[in-house]
Amino acid sequence: MKRPSGLAIITLLVLVFLFAPIIVVVLNAFNGNRTLDSWGGATGHWFSQAFHDPAVRSALWVSVRAALACTAISLAIAIPAALWARRAGPRARAVLDGTTYMRIVLPEVVAAAGLFLLFRRINFALGMPTIIAGHVVFTSAYATIILQARVATLTTTLEEAAADLGAGPWRRFRRVTLPLLRPAVIVAALLVFTFSMDDVVTSAFLSGDTVTLPVLIFGLMRFHVTPEVNAIAAGVTVLTLVTFSLSAALLGVRTGTSMVTGARASAAAT
């Protein structure tokens, strides 16, 4: 066994740095000592307190509904856009890529502020529909990038064969194109769901009285570190890990990972 290199040591330290704070949050969620100064024995009290809190429950429900709607709409936008992009001319494609990239990179505060003004201007009440509209702006951009990356690897041979065999456009899409895109659709759906569930800034501007879970937690976090907040945070972390494992299990770790990495990198490179 050769001596670990400097690079290996740095990598190990960075991984510890990335994971330790999250682990501390999860551990503190079980900490019996209310002030969190020291370890006061394990307790499930904070969890039961958090999950019996009606405010937390209703906020969680709002977030789940918004995330589900976002996932459906984002896919409905991204799948056709990705299919369109492979046939579009270079200029039209550049417009799609450019607007997609802008939706991801522009600081969220700016986009959210603009949407807030728009809904105010037309006197549209803030609530669930405005939250969804705001989330889809950036979640559909991520979905488009993931799907475009997948579409780029496909040839049109199978679809042409289906056409030659007399399948109409819808049937071709359902029976040939969609199954080919399935891994990307799953990754995109899980990413969109997670990002929507996680969003604070857009929701803070556009939620009105409809409080999402992150907006609720954000309000609590601004002022205190408390065991209850740790419990909610630990719950959220477990939920996101479940969606991640789900995508890994459905696709195999390798495909899922390379899709997320690829999506991010191509987002920046376009």
Q: Please list every residue from 117 through 156 that binds other proteins, using CB under 8 A.
A: 117-118, 121, 133-134, 136-137, 140, 144
| Total residues at interface with other proteins (CB under 8 A) | 96
What does the alpha-carbon distance between residue 170 and residue 193 come to, in Å, rounded to a whole number?
Answer: 26
Instruction: Determine which residue in the list 163, 180, 183, 250 makes contact with other proteins, applying CB under 8 A.
Output: 163
Per rule CB under 8 A, is residue 266 in the interface with other proteins? yes
Sign of the C-alpha dihedral computed for residues 109, 114, 117 and 118 taken in this order: negative
Instruction: Determine which residue in the list 77, 128, 158, 250 makes contact with other proteins, applying CB under 8 A.
Output: 77
Shortest distance, CB of residue 115 to other proteins, whole angstroms? Answer: 5
Query: Nearest 5°: phi and psi at 100?
Result: -65, -45
What does the alpha-carbon distance between residue 142 and residue 213 come to, in Å, rounded to a whole number?
Answer: 22
Shortest distance, CB of residue 91 to other proteins, whole angstroms? Answer: 13
Give the number of other Cβ atoms within 10 Å of residue 13's Cβ: 10
DSSP 32: S
Query: Nearest 5°: phi and psi at 240?
Result: -70, -35
CB 56 within 8 A of CB 219: no
Shortest distance, CB of residue 128 to other proteins, whole angstroms? Answer: 15
What does the alpha-carbon distance between residue 93 and residue 45 come to, in Å, rounded to a whole number?
Answer: 54
What does the alpha-carbon distance between residue 106 and residue 113 come to, in Å, rounded to a whole number?
Answer: 12
Give the interface segment with other proteins, choosing from 44-52, 54-62, 63-71, 113-121 (CB under 8 A).
113-121
Give the interface segment with other proteins, choosing from 48-56, 61-69, 178-186, 231-239 (CB under 8 A).
231-239
CB 33 within 8 A of CB 39: yes
Shortest distance, CB of residue 54 to other proteins, whole angstroms? Answer: 21
Per rule CB under 8 A, is residue 53 in the interface with other proteins? no
Q: Which residues contact 228 (CB under 8 A, 6 or more apart)?
A: 46, 49, 50, 53, 220
Shortest distance, CB of residue 37 to other proteins, whole angstroms? Answer: 8
Instruction: Determine which residue in the list 42, 55, 109, 125 makes contact with other proteins, applying CB under 8 A.
Output: 109
Q: Please list every residue from 17 through 46 that binds other proteins, using CB under 8 A.
A: 17-22, 24-25, 28, 36
Beta strand ranges found along the chain (DSSP E):
none
Instruction: Determine which residue in the list 154, 180, 200, 250 makes contact with other proteins, applying CB under 8 A.
Output: 200
Instruction: Determine which residue in the list 131, 185, 204, 251 makes contact with other proteins, applying CB under 8 A.
Output: 204
Shortest distance, CB of residue 41 to other proteins, whole angstroms? Answer: 18
What does the alpha-carbon distance between residue 189 and residue 140 come to, in Å, rounded to a whole number?
Answer: 10
Instruction: Determine which residue in the list 81, 145, 176, 251 makes contact with other proteins, applying CB under 8 A.
Output: 81
